């Protein structure tokens, strides 16, 4: 999980131009980190590319509200 979290933090910090220290497991992507809907999509696309996966269920991807949600989703997808 640490490797997944590290990559998620790196991608989110880069896309939102914030300090990686702000990206905690509890942080909400919109409310806490200030992402808009386009940035959220960009983050997801970048993570798909980083991990070599596809978000095949848009409803599931839409439910990713926190960093913890994203990490759990990625861990499930990559097995």
Number of Cβ within 10 Å of residue 61's Cβ equals 16
Give me the catalytic one of 3, 19, 36, 59.
Answer: 36
- Whether 36 is a known active-site residue: answer yes
- Enumerate residues 6+ apart whose C-beta is below 8 A from 61: 44, 55, 73
Supply 23's token pair. 């990206």
Report the catalytic residues.
36
């Amino acid at each position: 999980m640490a490797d997944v979290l590290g990559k998620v933090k790196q991608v989110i910090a880069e896309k939102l131009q914030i300090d990686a220290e702000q990206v905690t497991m509890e942080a909400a992507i919109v409310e806490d980190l200030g992402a808009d809907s386009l940035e959220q999509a960009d983050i997801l696309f970048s993570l798909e590319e980083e991990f070599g996966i596809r978000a095949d269920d848009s409803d599931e991807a839409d439910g990713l509200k926190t960093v913890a949600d994203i990490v759990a989703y990625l861990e499930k997808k990559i097995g």
